[in-house]
Amino acid sequence: MPFVSMPDEAEIFYKDWGTGQPVVFSHGWPLTADVWDKQANMVASKGFRAIAHDRRGHGRSSQTWDGNTMDTYADDLARVIEHLDLHEIILVGHSTGGGEITRYVGRHGTSRVAKMVLVGAVPPLMLQTASNPKGTPRSAFDDIRAGIEADRSQFYLDLSLPFYGGNREGSTLSDGARYAFWLMSMQVGIKAAYDCVKEFSETDFTEDLAKIDVPTFVAVGDDDQIVPIEAAGLRTAELVPGAKLKVYPGGSHGLVGEYEKAFNADLLDFIRT
């Protein structure tokens, strides 16, 4: 299995499929690189090189006690990119992964980056504050932390419903999709899962977004129950000069069903153009 060693000796697992211009995928919380398999298979089948890693603490990567911070996530990604000597990269990040690739640009610039895709991403700031009134109240994140500590297995299974809009009338969310979400979530170390809640909810990416100077596609579902689009995607599209914004009617937080099909087509069109 392919791994890249980090300065603190953590091992980061990655998948590397196909050949051509690299498309690097960063996954959301509390998932793994496997959540991108459909998209990675699609782009690799269309002449691109698909790369997806497990964030530290997640999946097959090391479950470190320390280092579960957005800065370290971004630096881990940079080391994977440097190890593979990637250039003209198309960075694709969902949810927390969108924060990771945004912080990567904030810390490492865009010299290796050609384009970016932010889908259901957490920037610029999820947490509700006096200056971010449309954000999510801290109590919601405290509830997530409590769920992780009390019975994370049941918590993750329950979370799969709002994550994919399975609690909406007319949803066609399958049990298999929910169990896949649960399985990926249970591969996350409990310490990493707990620490990451603060990172995706309280990190302010405003200054990082200002450093994005490559074509950027911002995709959001208008029924995202996890990351409020008013404080996240819509605001990101305002802060990134020239960003292309698409709002998907009825789209959930996670990519599923018709929303996923529409996004996949748009993703392929964006990386080809």
Whole-number Å distance between alpha carbons of 93 and 246: 15
Backbone angles phi, psi at 245, to 5 degrees: -110, 135
Backbone angles phi, psi at 172, to 5 degrees: -110, 20
Whole-number Å distance between alpha carbons of 77 and 12: 9
Whole-number Å distance between alpha carbons of 166 and 178: 9
Put the strands of the sheet holding 244-248 in their side by side order.
3-5, 11-17, 49-53, 22-26, 89-94, 113-119, 216-221, 244-248
Cβ neighbors of 239 (< 8 A, separation 6 or more) are 124, 206, 209, 210
List 27, 58, 94, 253, catalytic entry: 253
List 53, 201, 224, 252, catalytic entry: 224
List 26, 62, 95, 185, catalytic entry: 95
Q: Is 253 labeled as catalytic in the residue annotation?
A: yes
Q: Which residues is 14 bridged to in the sheet?
A: 53
- Per 3-state DSSP, the chain is made up of helix, strand and coil in percentages (nearest 5) of 45, 20, 40
What's the DSSP call for residue 120?
S
Q: Is 224 labeled as catalytic in the residue annotation?
A: yes
Q: Is 201 labeled as catalytic in the residue annotation?
A: no
DSSP-based three-state secondary structure for 199: helix
CB 205 within 8 A of CB 123: yes
Catalytic residues: 95, 224, 253
